[in-house]
Amino acid sequence: MKEINIKKNMVMLTVLCGLLMIVSGCCPGKKGYVAFSFGMSKLDEGEYKEAIKFFTVALNTGFENKDEAYELRGRAKFRIGDTLGAIEDYTKAYEENSEDLSPVFYRGGIEYLIGDYEAALRDYLMLLDWDDNYENNRAEFNTNIGALYLRTGNEDSAMIWFSDVVEESKKPADVFESNSMFQDWFEETADEELKSRVETKLSEMIATKDEIIVEDSAK
């Protein structure tokens, strides 16, 4: 029992020392790092408002990896419903480190959720340069982009991206059925003529591919 209490006291002492370091300004070289560490802990614990405070301190006290602090603060802001604040932080994270496109991925997802489909489309097109992730999730990316083109009123471009999905996927029908962006568009659009036209074109593409597969297997 004493050993447990000692461990608890040590943890509390560490926390208090860290807080004192932040508040008092001691050890300025480590102040931002300590604040960032506390921000990560609060984020993991689901205390998002506290996490935002610590990440803000880190950003204001010379923390070197600003892109990480902005990205994690954006995640915390999204969790409390501050979508515009999250988009702003993800944008700053990308500006700090343009080689990492993960903030663009998260930003695009939020833009989609709030109905800014043109912005979401721009971000998803940027993700095509994210080589490893794009190639590993090519069918999903291409279906998302096609669905966003439909959202922005560009049917022809949408079908170009969908044709790539049909060509590259072993079971394209399953891809469209499981893709949330495509299914959301299909359920939400009021243009029944457009829905019927898209459905017909996709069916024709898939049927044509199936015929080619049968012909190739018969040779």
Fold adopted by 19-129? 1.25.40
Separation CA 58–CA 7 (nearest Å): 27
Predicted confidence (pLDDT) per residue in 113-140, tens digit: 999 999 999 999 998 877 666 667 889 9
Predicted confidence (pLDDT) per residue in 15-43, tens digit: 445 554 544 444 555 888 999 999 999 99
- Crossing angle (nearest 10°) for helices 138-151 and 155-168: 160
In a 10 Å sphere around its CB, with 0-12 CB exposed, 13-18 middle and 19+ buried, how is residue 186 labelled? Answer: middle
- What pLDDT, on the 0 to 100 scale, is given for residue 137? 82
- What pLDDT, on the 0 to 100 scale, is given for residue 16? 44
Q: pTM of the full predicted structure?
A: 0.80
**11 vs 219 pLDDT, higher one:** 219
